[in-house]
Structure 1
């Protein structure tokens, strides 16, 4: 497309926008082939759509979308709720390229109650509404299994696939199966249990799957009391067993006070690095969380979290057939739904529910991340590098990181170590050791400057690739002296960070910038753990080098200073004379007999010069 054609396209689109009404509705963008590429919602169509064509739009993805638009259509509705629902239905119908992509839970199992005279109850991953009623999906499989186990114990639904009718029962066309003999089924197919009793049991099972466990529990207790008053003690005993089973299940599954009625809970967790948002949904019925599910949304245009949540709530409520009048959300919502109250909880049981929802969303995010990184181990390194790049606002990913540390004992045997991480992993072949040459006494700052100067002067001379980031094992002081060498002396543009310790000598913050400022990084995060590992590694490396040097000095002998005497000759002398003192007092003739004339002359001259 030429520049003139593009200008004509924008002028035509702006003229369409200028004629849009100031009413709520849904708008659709079309590409050159008149295919819908984006569907949006708006409280005010004209105001919302015009924002796409402002010059100050700085989001790259939005600019790309606008460059693809060749036509605009819209639908006016009466309320905000209708705008939300219309947007949702159009997205489902056309699956536009630039809309948020919902990864649904079709692979998760649901519980099915069939549409039969004697319904069956089982778990399935295949959803066919013609088969029966479906409850779920269940993202936590143990919860679903526990629920099924409870229903099987309480109501003993049949598992056979016979097409049972009243006529086939009367004609005795069915035989009792093994489940009947194991007392796991009461035999409705052979007339041992009436059809009415069986269907009443299924009705109660439906209520449990809907979350109305307390009401079923109360009904069983009342029936038990009634049978006891009628002196039907055997029937009362059976009802008591069911009541105790269900009451025990309620006690285990109850999360909040059962005085809380029917409500939905939504929380949203953002993953900037992968352009993803995770929405967790909890449904609470009579104080019990009977449904928990997390959806993953792929963000296409850097949508705001509030817009994503507003679009997701109607769809999720429709999927789970929720009619709750109160919805808990993590922040104030601009959008509204008819007959629904949005609440931002601040304390009490509702606040606990919101925290539970957020915890489930974060756990799902963590599980997805680990699952992905298990398939592609390099992805973890890239994620951590991108996260560090974002935190420090670096121009490129810090693939090559170097860290320095000094080690000395009262200024003696002063050494330093340089540890190199590439791709957030140790690159041990690139580690370097330094003996401090120009500094006398315990001066850490001067020692650090000497080491940094020698390291990068040599890299410049050898034309070796410089690091993307330098991290000092220390705070502002260490960063300052390193900066003096890197920037002021060598004129290099290498970012410098520092890992500072608190009063208890524990690393607690990351510093960056000039002057250095604390970077907002959670000390419990995975990135901080990797940086701490880098710091521990350079400390270990420098300490080990220092200890080795001290050990060698402690084992130093006067024989080591004799030119022409190697380790083997030294070993022969010590084996024969036992001590250095004895070697000193020996005459030249004896030494010649042991190690030869030339070496004997070296040793004798050294001690008697």
Structure 2
């Protein structure tokens, strides 16, 4: 810890400005990153306040040095803090697993707007976005509703422009078939407007308008059109009535519940959009040293809403420790609207929503504990068999390596980590493998092990698991001997006859004989689970490279498109899939992309 004399001088000279601070231990490791509106007040509070929680006291006792960075505003500090936590993974920060981006529903701004499923929210106006949704199923269900009621198109522009008769959706009355002129533009745009009202929660207003149109059509003896409006009203009413957690409230609402058991915390966030409860998702803190329910809520909200839109209303199980948390996030979006925050106890429909979110959080946490207990049992079985002595089970660490390529092309190695009684996706890594004979897995394993274990001050696992047999293990042994590492850590897992699960053989780099544990072995189940995760991660990395290279070549081969324009497209749309799903008009709106190039790009991708 800092000595008292140096600490007093340091604290006295701190600026009363916004910024971030980093606590560093005696080994030079960053153990905590925080943000502050006033650096002097915030950092001093850790050392002056004698009523710190035990976990905070433990952290403070390990501080050897403090670094800080002044920022222009508290908003900038919030964003910088989030980026540092995600990249450094300090021991005492609370991190939440969120590997998947949240999906959105978009209504494009074209002449004939269409429904689009997307995962990238673009601030530039190229349509209206609705979301985020808890999962892709909620988006697709909403699209089905909009197709059934308002019959909006989902086809891309190429299909729309080249049809001579209605597609299947048009034939089954899930699309009004504007492509072949079965509906005029004004009527179609009115349907789009009604759909937007519906998504904004104004269902009653939409029903009232449709009923008026139905009555008007009846008075004009246009009974066929009146029946269409009648069916729309019936479908809308049915959808609204079957939603047991519906609300007349038109405001988008997120319900956040934090529950704990021991030192584990689970955050469940449920989403209500256009008056309908769309489902929820649970998150777990990866580190609980500083956790209490209020600080977990602060940390989660700061991370979650930097990537996702703020709703109109927040219903929370606990208060925020920092009242400025939401305001800071709101400022980062440049939003002027006021966010309403309701904290338990609440009444009415909000009580039902929060009660359900809390129940789901408890179930998710219990499932988490069940999985941990399962892993603990399997770790005990494996360490007994391999005679590995552990100080504690949570310290048990396995790193598994696998190789994947496509006919020798785009060779990638994966490294996945099992730690703290579970897989740790934030520690996964993939490695580029080059300058080898295509398809040479042994050479690929040799290269990735050198890349991984020749680094300084790395944390060595208890087991280095190699997906492969004797050939891969012999190569791995040479690498470890050259790096003066313990070859006893190396274990190969070789597939059995006909690659049947449960018949794998364990191959060792020392003098131990090959070992077949058997199909019922819980120790083998653990190793096979880690091996399968490494295989999945390696394949996903390789496929992503293949997709990007082929996709990139399609664009780069177009005359007039170079690396700068490709980079501009990627920056604007966020990903290759974003470019692929973009319309010609959206592509042409990118700076530096004229209309003729936008057309060429669109045609090459469709």
TM-score (norm: length of structure 1) = 0.50
| Bigger relative contact order, structure 1 or 2 (CA pairs below 8 A, ≥6 apart) | 2
Q: Which has the larger radius of gyration?
A: 1
